[in-house]
Chains A and B, each alone.
Chain A
Amino acid sequence: MSRMVDWIDRRFPLSHFINKELTGYPTPRNLSSWWNFGFLAGFVLLLQVLSGIFLAMHYKPDAQLALGSVEHIMREVNYGWLIRYMHSTGGSAFFAIIYIHMARSLYYACYHKPRELMWWSGQVLLLMLMATAFMGYLLPWGQMSYWGAQVITNLFRATPFFGDQIVVWLRGGFTIGDDTLSRFFVLHYLFPFLIMGMVFIHLIALHYVKSSNPTGIELAKNEQITFHPYFTIKDLYGLGLFLIIYCYFVFFNPDFFIEANNNIPANPLKTPSHIEPEWYFLPFYAILRSIPDLLGGVIAMSLSVMIFAALPFLDRCKIPGGARYRPVYRTLFYLFMVDILVLGYVGAQPPNGVLMQVGQAATFIYFLLFSLLPFISRKEEKWLLAKGLPPAVLAFMEEEAARESGRKKS
């Protein structure tokens, strides 16, 4: 065995790579459980790719055959029910994990220097994940699939000048049809591999700037511990907890994430009386509905997803650790969480009078929080510096400031 490894090591940096990037990778010793979710997201990505490949062996991307082939998978393919429920539950699990992963970065302001590119590659990953999930949802060709795709592709009608042409081009027809299904299937199969490539970039950036940690202070060498065995064990423990919840849904409550209406074959002549997107799109859907104008709604919705990318600029406070040392930022964070939950609730309800206004208020607060952040963060920094901060935090800030001015001089 070791002779074989030696042979490879003379020709390829195998041991070097494993030791530098995996086993010996220096990791802050104070990472909390909120740092488990990146690994979990990677795990679920692999799970989705694996189950998806096996589903694709039996699925037929044809408007006449699609729903039937899904039923075929459920009833006749060996363990087809298991693989399909793994995939449908995995989609929701993926979003849950990614949202927690994002909330962690938001809380601890991990998007700050030097992790802007990690944050932005994560933003791209979120968009790719949303696109993949949206296209995958059409594949069972049930009523919800059909009308969800109908509504979302129609959003592109808001494009100035070419709106109608773009919608027809996206669908490959005047309505959602056979050609739409084929292309959504092909792209739904392709995107996860692009996501993997982007994850790789995300990880290269991570291993260059190293993990953030709850204090936001870059730790000294002796405060770092090796990834293996400390974090392999911690990640595996988190995986065990995750799998308990995941398996509960896969085995005992698989229809929790599947709309009953989606077992009705797609009917281009009849819209279901109430359509709502999957839970992970509800807040953005509520924002879309809150604006009583097609173009305005589309812009607000896109902005609500993309605005995260602006956070490195919007948050102008230089105190590390985000909400940990900043009570005002912490309050904003929790306000934002509550606001998202309200939006999610509103998005799931039929659009009527009072809830409509609640949704509009929540949409207003959503954007208000982001637009006030530059001023609040600046004021908060001054206030906290006057009030006093832990010495380690101050030392870190001075170091950063010195490095910054040194760069400017040279």
Chain B
Amino acid sequence: MSEKKQDKPQDHGRRDFLGTATCFVAGAGIAASSWPFINSMNPTADVLAKASTEVDLSDIPAGEEKTVLWQGKPVFILHRTADQISAMEASTGSNKDPEPDEKRVQNPEWLVVVGICTHLGCVPNRREEGWLCPCHGSVYDNSGRILHGPAPRNLDLPPYEFVADTRIIIKKA
């Protein structure tokens, strides 16, 4: 018994604690030093600098649509006529994703939506009654709401604000 005691350390608890603590500190150090590498794959500063887009609306005639790039994605800006506004305010779209028109616009004259089909990401084409996605035939109305087709949701709304009557900034989400 006494022999055994001599070839084994008698302060096992302390040793184990030191070992565990050292491994923990080393592990934390390795985890922390991996962050710069992981973060280097995130969008770079110049990409982030292009994250907001300012748009002058004054050159869009009523009834016309303009597509601008925001964070590399198309944004549809539709200058709606009085007829289109009243038609849209009268409906809540389909029962797939019902939503009143006033929740989708800040100024009823201007509809601003992300021009990416909520199905699989194609860019819908402009038609008289709204948009038609060429990939799988989803149909959107003039409020960007899904009417029929495989798309699950209405077109997304980008975060934007009016900085003047005919000038908006689409910002970082």
User: Does B associate with A?
Assistant: yes
Give every chain A residue within 8 A of B46 (Cβ-Cβ): 72, 76
A79 and B45 within 8 A (CB): no
A54 CA / B39 CA spacing, docked (Å): 10
Of A57, A72, A75, the contact of B41 (CB 8 Å cutoff): A57
Q: For the complex, is B40 an interface residue (Cβ under 8 Å from A)?
A: yes
Within 8 A of B (CB), among A60-118: 72, 75-80, 82-83
Interface SS majority for chain A? helix
B37 and A77 within 8 A (CB): no
How many residues on A have C-beta within 8 angstroms of the other chain's C-beta atoms?
A: 14
**A-B contact number at CB 8 A:** 36
A57 and B40 within 8 A (CB): yes
Give every chain B residue within 8 A of A75 (Cβ-Cβ): 45
Within 8 A of A (CB), among B1-58: 35-37, 39-42, 44-47
Q: For the complex, is A389 an interface residue (Cβ under 8 Å from B)?
A: no
Give every chain A residue within 8 A of B42 (Cβ-Cβ): 78
Q: For the complex, is A382 an interface residue (Cβ under 8 Å from B)?
A: no
Give every chain B residue within 8 A of A83 (Cβ-Cβ): 36-37, 40
A57 CA / B40 CA spacing, docked (Å): 9
Q: For the complex, is A307 an interface residue (Cβ under 8 Å from B)?
A: no
Interface size class of B (residues with CB under 8 A): 10 to 19
Give every chain B residue within 8 A of A54 (Cβ-Cβ): 37, 40-41
A69 CA / B18 CA spacing, docked (Å): 46
Residue picked from A57, A76, A83, most chain B C-beta under 10 Å: A76
Task: Looking at the assembled complex, report how far the CB atom of B47 sits from the nearest CB atom of chain A, in whole angstroms.
Answer: 8
Task: Looking at the assembled complex, report how far the CB atom of A240 sits from the nearest CB atom of chain B, in whole angstroms.
Answer: 10
A50 CA / B33 CA spacing, docked (Å): 12
A58 and B36 within 8 A (CB): no
Task: Looking at the assembled complex, report how far the CB atom of A232 sits from the nearest CB atom of chain B, in whole angstroms.
Answer: 12
Task: Looking at the assembled complex, report how far the CB atom of B120 sits from the nearest CB atom of chain A, in whole angstroms.
Answer: 27
A76 and B39 within 8 A (CB): no
A50 CA / B40 CA spacing, docked (Å): 12
Give every chain B residue within 8 A of A57 (Cβ-Cβ): 40-41
Residue picked from B35, B39, B40, B41, most chain A C-beta under 10 Å: B40
B41 and A82 within 8 A (CB): no
Known contacts A72-B46, A75-B45; is-contact A80 B40 (Cβ 8 Å): yes
A350 CA / B46 CA spacing, docked (Å): 42
Give every chain B residue within 8 A of A51 (Cβ-Cβ): 37
Please list the 9 inter-chain residue pairs (A to B) with the smallest Cβ-Cβ separation, ordered nearest first.
A79-B36, A76-B45, A78-B39, A76-B44, A76-B46, A77-B44, A78-B40, A82-B36, A79-B40
With A54-B37, A72-B46, A78-B44 given, name 16 new contacts (CB 8 A).
A51-B37, A54-B41, A57-B41, A58-B44, A76-B45, A76-B47, A77-B40, A77-B44, A78-B42, A79-B36, A79-B39, A79-B40, A80-B40, A82-B36, A83-B36, A83-B40
14 A-B contacts (beta carbon < 8 Å): A54-B37, A72-B44, A72-B46, A76-B44, A76-B47, A77-B44, A77-B45, A78-B39, A78-B40, A78-B44, A78-B45, A79-B36, A79-B39, A83-B37
